[in-house]
Structure 1
């Protein structure tokens, strides 16, 4: 769920060696069950990069943004709106019908952003 960041592979990016595999290009073709989850103020993976990736996925992805800081939204973040959306996806395969912006206050209704 965290990709290479969980393995601390950052230093390997500068290792002097030939690439074994070509870079992966993300586009509108491929599986259509992608759920992206992103904090608005994440110092490790900024929102701007997530928005760019979301655009690259096109219609085959949905993004849930949580109005909170820190790296990591689910399951330990305080945003119940985001946590509920991810739980619904993981337990039943249900993605939000469109991108979802979860407010900081748990009692505020979410807004759809697409």
Structure 2
């Protein structure tokens, strides 16, 4: 699937984050120069002292109805391209995959 993959009991979500946006949203996809697909996300928080990363985790937790503490930033701390680990996400794979797929297909 585009934008995410399963890793044992977890899901790894590839996100391209736009901090400092006028509104928070998740949807659409971006393709990098290597052909990898990334889910697009926007947060109001600025990229300062982890504020945008924390806002991204909070946004995903709300939209996925998943515990905030079970969504970890795995890579991309100071980069727009991030990989997030959704711990235990494989247990709700069908539900989460449907939500994420709908986001990716949103233009």
TM-score with structure 2 setting the length: 0.32
TM-score by length of 1: 0.31
Task: Point out the structure with the larger strand share.
Answer: 2
